[in-house]
């Protein structure tokens, strides 16, 4: 029989307890720090690291190969996003259309009103953003046109200027006619390969709308498309999780390629100013004016009632997180519960005024910063694609990155996609304000649609019928139908 000394047993027990405690602490750290909600903080850390790395090596005049290696992880991230952006956009839009099939027959009018208001408000936001870019001109110094190695600055600038002239040579009529051609491609597979995103998106929306008309026969196909949407969302979550590394890599390489760092910083400050001014004008002037004209409701009263939802949206940078609070605020304001339960969730997924304005300004800034002069038709493409991209963007972190890739590819400017990473150095601030504008737009949409519904009900109100049996007979005969 083997006898073990008590001190050795206690030592072994303490060692085991220590290992368990270490594992427990590591598991707690991993579960707390490596969650998707912490991605914003890891991205900010990546932004800071990229800026520090780029500035510390800027005076070293690294060879082009070294700069290329530094930017390689970011290049891989961009390529992965480019690979996924088309299926993600298509299946997200189709799933949104499929969701409409669950609406009751009496909700058709509410759906039309809601979609009409969403589209109008987002187009107004995009138009305002593009106008401000031309007025403020945040990229007038063309800081991105020299983003190459110091020894090649002049040659690259001349090449970019030439490219800008080529884009400007297209006539306005020709560009506008090309929009129609892009919307209806001769070959949908070729359109996806070009890529002609506008044609693919149009086809996806029409296909989903027609598929909805087949009712129960199409349910299994619809469920398959919705499953594909969930699959691509899961894949892109995996790619987005690598954003901190990719952003750090791209920011560092962009700083190292910049021939005039001061001009780059000044341009970014003007860019932030343009976006913030756009958010302010749209939220404080455009939306209140539209709401008053369409519903005669007091915008200040709406703001006071929806303040809790606006503050939550600003603090969390998530429209989805503020949606339950916005719904409660809508009911407290006096909107019909059925309207609130439909308009605000739908608006959270479709109505993104802030995102549409932000993406339009960002793409126009990138083009301007490269010295490109876009034609009228190209500007219209930016407006339409920014609106569609905002509608089809999934509720994922950094979804603006995916949407801006869509717009740049629609313009045929894939070579400028890595410049999106530069904007992420200030996106943490703009993201909070952008979400607040989105929530504010949803709140006003709910009030406007509720007002229209009440007006319609009052205008077409049925005569009161005291006899229940008579009411049923009238309902059957169609005398009480809504006009």
Provide the pLDDT confidence category of residue 40 given band limits of 50, 70 and 90.
low
CA distances from 295 to 64, 264, 343, 454, 455 (A): 59, 44, 16, 11, 10
Q: Which two tokens stand for residue 296?
A: 């005669």
Provide the pLDDT confidence category of residue 167 given band limits of 50, 70 and 90.
very low
Whether 463 is in a domain gets the answer: no
Chain centroid to Cα 151, Å, comes to 38
CA distances from 278 to 139, 143, 270, 427, 481 (A): 16, 22, 12, 15, 45
* pLDDT at 155 (0 to 100): 43
Q: For the ranges 2-11, 166-175, 280-289, 352-361, which has the lowest average pLDDT?
A: 166-175
Among residues 405, 402, 394, the alpha carbon closest in space to that of 363 is found at 405
The answer to whether residues 395 and 349 touch, using CB atoms and an 8 Å cutoff, is yes
Compute how many other C-beta atoms are within 10 angstroms of the C-beta atom of residue 218: 16
* pLDDT at 315 (0 to 100): 66
The answer to whether residues 205 and 115 touch, using CB atoms and an 8 Å cutoff, is no
Q: For the ranges 269-278, 323-332, 421-430, which has the lowest average pLDDT?
A: 421-430
| Domain hosting residue 364, numbered range | 39-458
- More confident of the two residues 460 and 262: 262
Q: Which two tokens stand for residue 283?
A: 């939220």
Whether 6 is in a domain gets the answer: no
Among residues 414, 87, 349, 42, the alpha carbon closest in space to that of 236 is found at 87
* pLDDT at 3 (0 to 100): 52
Domain count, the chain: 1
Mean pLDDT of 151-169: 41
pTM of the model: 0.67
Model confidence over 371-394: pLDDT tens digits?
888 778 788 888 888 887 777 565
Cβ-based neighbours of 254, under 8 Å, separated by 6 or more:
54, 71, 147, 418, 419, 421, 422
225, pLDDT greater than 80: yes
* pLDDT at 323 (0 to 100): 76
Phi, psi of 149 (to 5 degrees): -70, 150
Whether 63 is in a domain gets the answer: yes
281, pLDDT greater than 90: yes
476, pLDDT greater than 50: no
Model confidence over 56-65: pLDDT tens digits?
888 888 888 8
289, pLDDT greater than 80: yes
128, pLDDT greater than 90: yes
Provide the pLDDT confidence category of residue 454 given band limits of 50, 70 and 90.
confident
- More confident of the two residues 381 and 17: 381
Cβ-based neighbours of 277, under 8 Å, separated by 6 or more:
132, 136
The answer to whether residues 439 and 282 touch, using CB atoms and an 8 Å cutoff, is no
Whether 355 is in a domain gets the answer: yes
Whether 333 is in a domain gets the answer: yes
Q: For the ranges 99-113, 193-207, 211-225, 268-282, which has the lowest average pLDDT?
A: 99-113
* pLDDT at 278 (0 to 100): 93
- The residue assigned the tokens 């290696």 is 69
Whether 34 is in a domain gets the answer: no
* pLDDT at 168 (0 to 100): 39
- More confident of the two residues 4 and 65: 65
Q: Which two tokens stand for residue 169?
A: 């040579």
Q: Please tell me whether the peptide bond between 44 and the residue prior to it is cis, using omega within 30 degrees of 0.
A: no
| In the chain, % of residues over pLDDT 70 | 72
Whether 281 is in a domain gets the answer: yes
Model confidence over 315-368: pLDDT tens digits?
666 676 677 788 888 888 888 877 887 788 777 767 788 888 988 898 889 888
Provide the pLDDT confidence category of residue 149 given band limits of 50, 70 and 90.
very low
- More confident of the two residues 289 and 153: 289
CA distance 177 to 184: 11
404, pLDDT greater than 70: yes
Mean pLDDT of 80-84: 79
Query: Is the alpha carbon torsion for 83, 87, 93, 96 positive or negative?
Result: negative
Mean pLDDT of 182-198: 79
* pLDDT at 230 (0 to 100): 84
Provide the pLDDT confidence category of residue 284 given band limits of 50, 70 and 90.
very high
CA distance 52 to 318: 29
Highest mean pLDDT among 34-43, 173-182, 303-312, 460-469: 303-312
What is the average pLDDT value for the chain, to the nearest integer? 75
* pLDDT at 344 (0 to 100): 81
Mean pLDDT of 50-54: 86
Q: Which two tokens stand for residue 16?
A: 């085991």
Phi, psi of 195 (to 5 degrees): -95, 135
> CATH code at 177?
1.10.3860
The answer to whether residues 343 and 453 touch, using CB atoms and an 8 Å cutoff, is no
Whether 414 is in a domain gets the answer: yes
């Amino acid at each position: 029989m083997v006898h073990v000394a008590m001190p050795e047993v206690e030592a072994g027990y303490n060692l085991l307890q220590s290992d368990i405690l270490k594992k427990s602490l590591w598991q707690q750290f991993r579960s707390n720090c490596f969650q998707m909600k912490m991605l914003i903080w890891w991205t900010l850390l990546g932004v800071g690291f990229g800026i520090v790395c780029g500035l510390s090596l800027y005076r070293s005049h690294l060879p082009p190969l070294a700069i290329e290696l530094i930017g390689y992880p970011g290049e891989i991230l961009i390529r992965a996003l480019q690979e996924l952006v088309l299926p993600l956009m298509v299946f997200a839009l189709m799933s949104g259309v499929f969701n409409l099939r669950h609406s009751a027959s009496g909700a058709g009018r509410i759906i039309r009103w809601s979609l009409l208001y969403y589209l109008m408000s987002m187009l107004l936001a995009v138009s305002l953003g593009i106008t401000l870019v031309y007025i403020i001109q945040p990229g007038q110094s063309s800081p991105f046109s020299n983003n190459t190695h110091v020894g090649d600055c002049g040659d690259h600038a001349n090449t970019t200027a030439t490219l800008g002239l080529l884009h400007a040579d297209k006539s306005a009529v020709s560009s506008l006619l090309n929009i129609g051609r892009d919307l209806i491609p001769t070959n949908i597979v070729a359109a996806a390969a070009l890529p002609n995103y506008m044609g693919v998106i149009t086809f996806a929306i029409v296909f989903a709308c027609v598929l909805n008309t087949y009712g129960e026969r199409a349910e299994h196909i619809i469920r398959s498309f919705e499953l594909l949407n969930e699959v691509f969302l899961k894949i892109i979550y995996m790619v987005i999780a690598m954003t901190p590394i990719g952003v750090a890599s791209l920011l560092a390489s962009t700083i190292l390629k910049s021939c005039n760092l001061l001009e780059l910083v000044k341009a970014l400050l003007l860019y932030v100013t343009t976006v913030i001014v756009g958010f302010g004008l749209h939220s404080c002037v455009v939306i209140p004016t539209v709401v008053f004209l369409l519903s005669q409701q007091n915008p200040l009263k709406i703001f006071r009632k929806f303040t809790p939802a606006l503050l939550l949206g600003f603090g969390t940078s998530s429209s989805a997180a503020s949606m339950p609070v916005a719904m409660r605020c809508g009911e407290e304001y006096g909107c019909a519960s059925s309207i609130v339960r439909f308009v605000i969730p739908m608006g959270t997924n479709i109505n993104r005024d802030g995102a549409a304005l932000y993406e339009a300004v960002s793409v126009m800034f990138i083009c301007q910063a490269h010295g490109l002069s876009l034609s009228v038709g190209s500007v219209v493409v930016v407006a339409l694609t920014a609106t569609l991209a905002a509608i089809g963007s999934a509720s994922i972190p950094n979804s603006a990155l995916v949407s801006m890739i869509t717009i740049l590819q629609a313009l045929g400017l894939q070579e400028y996609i890595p410049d999106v990473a530069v904007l992420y150095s200030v996106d943490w601030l703009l993201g909070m304000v952008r979400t607040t504008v989105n929530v504010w737009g949803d709140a006003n949409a709910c009030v406007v649609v509720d007002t229209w519904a009440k007006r319609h009900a009052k205008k077409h109100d049925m005569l009161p019928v005291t006899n229940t049996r008579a009411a049923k007979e009238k309902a059957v005969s169609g005398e009480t139908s809504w006009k």
